[in-house]
Copies of this chain bind each other. A is one copy, B any other.
Amino acid sequence: MPDLSIKPAIIADTLAEEIIRGDLVQGARLAQDHIAARFQCSHVPVREALQRLVQMELATAIPRKGVRVFKLSDQDHDEILEMRLSLEPLALRRAVTRATSQDYANMEVFRHACDKADDAISWERANRLFHLAILQPCDRPRLLSQIEQLQRLSAIRFHTRWKTTWSRTSDADHSAILKAIKRADEKAACAILVRHLSRG
């Protein structure tokens, strides 16, 4: 969770969500003055916000030429998937052995939110939170935040591709993963997760 007491954090947070959703089109220019006017501040905090977006890989900066919304190529997507397939099982194995009933409850919340979602945007958000929730108990902060970043990038792709054709479905994989986690079956949980992500 970013700190929202500081302007750059607020601005970066807002823009990040818009980029993920596809409200800001890939390659679009992010001009300092324009954003400053929108958030009613000078462009100094905007510069810091843009830097945060660059660090999240949601934007690309070219010195003295400005920053643009990140363009996600097919090759980027392959790489991201590969990294997720490597890191998420790593986190999941640890999470399975450490999860408490409180953690289970938390996972269920987002599984439910996925199934109940009735538009692509809210489904994707819930999905992302679910996939993070099942890994949360792993107790590896930097592993989690790296995965979170990859999941955000995956979300961009989802929105650009299936935003319009999305339709509500109950996700069988999600419940299967949850069941495996609850019976502390790392092997099964990881296997299903890997299959689930590969289909993405």
Which residues of chain B are within 8 angstroms of A90 by Cβ–Cβ distance? 82-83, 86
Q: Which of A13-21, A44-52, A191-199 contacts B (4 or more CB under 8 A)?
A: A44-52
Which residues of chain B are within 8 angstroms of A44 by Cβ–Cβ distance? 44
Which residues of chain B are within 8 angstroms of A82 by Cβ–Cβ distance? 90, 140, 143
The oligomer's copy count stands at: 2
Say which size band chain A's interface belongs to. 20 to 34
Which residues of chain B are within 8 angstroms of A57 by Cβ–Cβ distance? 142
Bound together, the chains give a CA A141 to CA B143 distance in angstroms of 18
Interface pairs (10), CB distance under 8 Å:
A6-B64, A48-B51, A51-B52, A55-B55, A76-B142, A79-B140, A79-B141, A82-B143, A83-B142, A87-B87
Interface residues, chain A, CB within 8 Å of chain B?
3, 5-6, 9, 44, 47-48, 51-52, 55, 57, 63-64, 76, 79-80, 82-83, 86-87, 90, 140-143, 146
